[in-house]
């Protein structure tokens, strides 16, 4: 086959040690794998922003490709593999294309991130590095407690410093000449790959991933303050919290190089590894500046986000921040709907039959909850606990026991005679599923893999990642104060989804903000919505500041660069302006809750521009119209048209009959457009199946 020498060129500003690379659809361009991407070379003679490289490609074939900015890291060990960090990458819905036709080609691709006049750049994901997050907040109580009388009434500003870390042989490494390293790689442990940034969120707004002022920021009871460290060596960091008096008086010496500095608290990241937890709370003593005595203590929440081991996320497409403007999508809650809301409905919720029923009635998406069995199988079930009977056949002596789902293996779950947890309170033995009535598709606890295999691929999945939440009164969902390791939990579920989703549309959601952050950082393909109950008369307030209002949920979603929020219908109906406010901020808004089961409420939310409605019984709540025909014998013919589509035909006849036809319409797409800026990812997530052609105008 004939080949073409293609010299690719692009312009872009980079940080020290950072390069621009190209990845694409053929072997020569890495087959969309970031680890096999081709780094470009910087042309020193220009303004330091012009990158190019000549690549040999087969002639006459079309190739697709993207550029990204990142680090190519050389292993310390001889023969070790090269690691690649993706900092930013182009995420246009349609990537760049070229078809080599001559012996030499020199396409000029202009500016990094801009293609076809559209800027479309997204942040990278965790390919090999780890993210350590340290948080100060007033969710439970003030994070800083001062014991020294002198500072009892002081207000403090706090700054986090990354002191650095040393490794064996560091001096020898420093003596290595730079020209001994490959021009396309840099040392694996260069400090360029360790970054420290701060984010702050509140109901008033957010500041995301920026540097700190010299004396840090003051603590604010209404604000969540989070420090993010990205590093290749998460277990060997030394961090110090520096405390400064916010209101400095006359006692501050003018020539002091650190005016107002009163103390330091030190944290070693190795302590996280020693206690074996990726999340928790560390209480640190604050040591006085001029003495070895403590002046107080600081409580620091920590979270460690690790890359998914052994999983390759390709760069062919990204859906993480794209949504196309359309009429509200209808999402089947737990498939065909909550069985508890419609007591003895013939299709059991969260079963294969339920999802098939929603699919057969045209659902664009079905919503369901996923968590893990004891043996780490992703399973579909709504609650954190279930009720099982001690006797399987004799209902007269039936006793129900509530058991955490996480304590049962997948095989044990398949054998259960099951009832909803509410059955204990109501003593409603009818909620028990009869063995003789169960068929394979109606069995509870299907695995996530089974759902992927059984439900048509044109039906999208809104997958709620089930996690425990703590209420303000200190109680936990399902009385479970401990749960899985969050990294392990998500790695298993995300791996299943990424391997089995195919062309299916996927949207994740979760009530836990840390889960949302992890999903965003662990993969580059699917979006996540932050589920929030806001201020509710139905549910108790949650402990976490980020979960306490719809406004702060918006700030969190913006700060974490996720798709949007899924808000409680109760609050949106009270304050419908939240929908437009969120969308103005570039967020997609879904809503959930029993209020959505009311047709009028759904109309109100649709009129406000809601992006997605999650509700029960989508097959019966979908758009309907009724035809009523009455015939008598006199041939007097009348037509009555109303918006409910009731047609009356009268023919003077001794015989009268009435036909009522209810037609359920598939949830269809409408006018293309964009809710969020084109600087975000660009792939449609909500293409539905065949549309129903109607000759009449239907009201929603």
Spacing of C-alpha 240 from chain mean position: 30
Q: Report how far residue 125's alpha carbon sits from residue 521's, in angstroms, rounded to the nearest whole number.
A: 5
Q: Report how far residue 542's alpha carbon sits from residue 548's, in angstroms, rounded to the nearest whole number.
A: 6
The pLDDT value given to residue 249:
52
Q: Report how far residue 524's alpha carbon sits from residue 541's, in angstroms, rounded to the nearest whole number.
A: 32
Contact in structure between 281 and 301 (CB atoms under 8 Å)? yes
The pLDDT value given to residue 426:
54
The pLDDT value given to residue 616:
87
Contact in structure between 329 and 358 (CB atoms under 8 Å)? no
Note the pLDDT tens digit of each residue in 279-338.
999 999 999 988 779 999 999 999 999 999 999 999 999 999 999 888 899 998 765 445
Contact in structure between 599 and 605 (CB atoms under 8 Å)? no
H helix intervals, 545-625: 550-560, 569-574, 577-584, 599-607, 618-621
Conformation bin of residue 401: beta by default, left when phi > 0, alpha when psi is -120 to 50: beta
Report the alpha-carbon angle 368-224-150, nearest 5.
150
β-pair type (224-231, 195-202): antiparallel
Q: Report how far residue 251's alpha carbon sits from residue 248's, in angstroms, rounded to the nearest whole number.
A: 8
Question: The tokens 């009892």 sit on which residue?
Answer: 152
All domains in the chain, ordered by first residue: 3-123 (2.60.40.10), 130-305 (2.60.40), 329-383+437-621 (3.20.20.190), 626-661 (no CATH)
Neighbours of 78 (CB within 10 A): 5
Instruction: Give whole-number Cα distances, 527 to 217, 322, 463, 487, in Å.
Output: 31, 8, 11, 18
Spacing of C-alpha 259 from chain mean position: 42
Task: Write the DSSP string, 351-416.
Answer: SHHHHHHHHHTT-SEEEEEEEE-TT--EEE-SSSEEEEES-SS-GGG--EEEEEGGGS-HHHHHH-
Q: Report how far residue 444's alpha carbon sits from residue 438's, in angstroms, rounded to the nearest whole number.
A: 9
Question: The tokens 């680090």 sit on which residue?
Answer: 71
Instruction: Give whole-number Cα distances, 51 to 19, 166, 176, in Å.
Output: 9, 34, 27
Torsion sign, CA atoms 671, 672, 678, 684: positive
Give the number of residues written for the chain. 700
Note the pLDDT tens digit of each residue in 625-638.
333 343 434 343 44
Q: Report how far residue 614's alpha carbon sits from residue 602's, in angstroms, rounded to the nearest whole number.
A: 10
The pLDDT value given to residue 394:
56
**Beta partners for 65?**
24, 96
Neighbours of 543 (CB within 10 A): 17
Contact in structure between 72 and 115 (CB atoms under 8 Å)? no
Helix axes 513-522, 486-500, angle to 10 degrees: 50
What does the block give as tokens for 334?
């737990």
Residues of 169-208 as b/e, b for ≥16 C-beta within 10 angstroms? eeeeeeeeeeeeeeeebbbbbbeebbbbebbbbbbeebeb
Helix, strand and coil content of the chain, in percent to the nearest 5, comes to 20, 30, 50
Q: Mean pLDDT over all residues of the chain?
A: 82
β-pair type (50-58, 224-231): unpaired
Neighbours of 257 (CB within 10 A): 6
Q: Report how far residue 626's alpha carbon sits from residue 683's, in angstroms, rounded to the nearest whole number.
A: 38
SS3 489: helix
Q: Report how far residue 535's alpha carbon sits from residue 578's, in angstroms, rounded to the nearest whole number.
A: 13
The pLDDT value given to residue 443:
87
608 contacts: CB under 8 Å, gap ≥ 6: 572, 576, 579, 580
Q: Which helix (H) or strand (E) holds 38?
A: strand 38-39
Contact in structure between 129 and 193 (CB atoms under 8 Å)? yes
Burial of 33 per CB tally in 10 Å (0-12, 13-18, 19+): middle
Contact in structure between 621 and 599 (CB atoms under 8 Å)? yes
SS3 121: strand
What does the block give as tokens for 330?
């209808």
Beta strands, E only, 112-269: 114-115, 118-119, 121-123, 130-136, 144-146, 156-164, 186-187, 195-202, 205-210, 217-218, 224-231, 238-245, 261-268
- What's the average pLDDT block by block, 10 residues per block, for the chain (700 residues)? 96 95 98 98 87 97 98 78 94 97 96 97 97 96 93 92 60 41 46 87 94 93 97 94 80 62 95 89 94 92 97 96 90 61 58 88 90 97 87 64 94 76 54 51 92 95 97 94 96 98 97 99 98 95 97 98 98 97 98 96 97 78 41 41 42 41 33 32 36 29
Q: What is the DSSP letter of 476?
A: B
Question: The tokens 């500095």 sit on which residue?
Answer: 261
Q: Report how far residue 336's alpha carbon sits from residue 245's, in angstroms, rounded to the nearest whole number.
A: 58
**Beta partners for 264?**
242, 287
SS3 17: coil
45 phi and psi angles, rounded to 5 deg: -70, -20
Q: What is the DSSP letter of 346?
A: S
């Amino acid at each position: 086959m004939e080949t073409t020498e293609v010299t690719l060129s692009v312009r872009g500003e980079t940080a020290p040690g950072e390069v621009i690379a190209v990845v694409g659809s053929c072997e020569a361009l890495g087959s969309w794998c970031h680890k096999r991407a081709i780094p470009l070379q910087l042309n020193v003679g220009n303004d330091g922003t012009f990158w190019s490289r000549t690549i040999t490609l087969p002639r006459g074939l079309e190739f697709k490709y993207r550029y990204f900015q990142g680090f190519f890291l050389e292993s310390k060990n001889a023969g070790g593999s090269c690691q690649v960090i993706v900092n930013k990458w182009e995420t246009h819905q349609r990537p760049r294309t070229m078809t080599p036709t001559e012996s030499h080609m020199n396409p000029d691709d202009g500016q990094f991130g801009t293609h076809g006049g559209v800027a479309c750049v997204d942040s990278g994901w965790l390919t090999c590095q780890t993210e350590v997050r340290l948080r100060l907040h007033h969710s439970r109580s003030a994070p800083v407690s001062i014991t020294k009388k002198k500072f009892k009434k002081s207000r403090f500003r706090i700054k986090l410093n990354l002191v650095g870390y040393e490794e064996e042989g560091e001096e020898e490494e420093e003596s290595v000449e730079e020209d001994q390293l490959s021009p396309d790689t840099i040392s694996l442990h260069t400090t360029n790959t360790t970054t420290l940034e701060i984010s702050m969120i509140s109901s008033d707004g957010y500041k995301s991933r920026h540097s700190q002022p010299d004396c840090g920021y003051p603590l604010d009871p209404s604000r969540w303050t989070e420090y993010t460290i990205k590093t290749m060596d998460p277990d060997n960091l030394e961090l110090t919290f520096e405390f400064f008096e916010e209101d400095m008086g006359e006692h501050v010496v003018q020539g002091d190089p650190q005016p107002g500095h009163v103390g330091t608290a030190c944290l070693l990241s190795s302590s996280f590894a020693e206690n074996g937890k990726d999340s928790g709370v560390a209480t640190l003593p604050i040591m006085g500046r001029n003495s070895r005595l403590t002046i107080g203590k600081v409580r620091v929440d920590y979270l460690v986000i690790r890359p998914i081991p052994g999983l390759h996320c390709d760069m062919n497409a990204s859906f993480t921040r794209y949504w196309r403007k359309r009429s509200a999508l209808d999402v089947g809650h737990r498939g065909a709907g909550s069985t508890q809301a419609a007591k003895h409905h013939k299709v059991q919720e969260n079963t294969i039959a339920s999802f098939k029923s929603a699919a057969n009635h045209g659902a664009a998406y079905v919503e369901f909850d996923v968590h893990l069995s004891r043996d780490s199988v992703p399973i579909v079930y709504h609650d954190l606990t279930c009720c099982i009977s001690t006797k399987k056949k004799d209902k007269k002596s039936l006793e129900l026991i509530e058991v955490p789902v996480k304590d049962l293996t997948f095989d044990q779950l398949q054998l259960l005679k099951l009832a909803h947890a509410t059955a204990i309170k109501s003593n409603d033995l009818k909620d028990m599923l009869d063995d003789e009535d169960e068929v394979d598709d109606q069995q509870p606890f299907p695995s996530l893999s089974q759902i992927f295999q059984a439900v048509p691929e044109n039906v999208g999945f809104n997958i709620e990642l089930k996690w425990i939440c703590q209420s303000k009164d200190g109680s936990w969902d399902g009385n479970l104060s401990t749960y899985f390791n969050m990294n392990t939990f998500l790695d298993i579920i995300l791996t299943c989804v990424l391997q089995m989703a195919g062309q299916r549309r996927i949207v994740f959601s979760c009530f836990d903000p840390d889960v949302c952050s992890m999903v965003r950082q662990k993969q580059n393909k699917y979006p996540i919505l932050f589920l929030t109950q806001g201020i509710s008369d139905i549910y108790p307030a949650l402990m976490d500041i980020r979960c306490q209002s719809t406004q702060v949920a918006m700030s969190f979603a913006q700060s974490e660069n996720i798709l949007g929020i899924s808000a409680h219908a109760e609050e949106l109906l009270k304050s419908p302006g939240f929908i437009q406010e969120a969308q103005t901020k570039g967020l997609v808004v879904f809503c959930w809750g029993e209020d959505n089961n009311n047709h009028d409420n759904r109309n109100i939310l649709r009129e406000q521009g809601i992006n997605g409605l999650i509700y029960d019984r989508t097959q019966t709540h979908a758009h309907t119209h009724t035809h009523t025909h009455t015939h008598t014998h006199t041939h007097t013919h009348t037509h009555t048209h109303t918006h409910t589509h009731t047609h009356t035909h009268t023919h003077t006849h001794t015989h009268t009959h009435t036909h009522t036809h209810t037609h359920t319409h598939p949830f269809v797409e409408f006018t293309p457009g964009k809710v969020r800026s084109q600087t975000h990812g660009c792939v449609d997530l909500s293409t539905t199946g065949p549309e129903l052609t109607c000759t009449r105008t239907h009201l929603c």
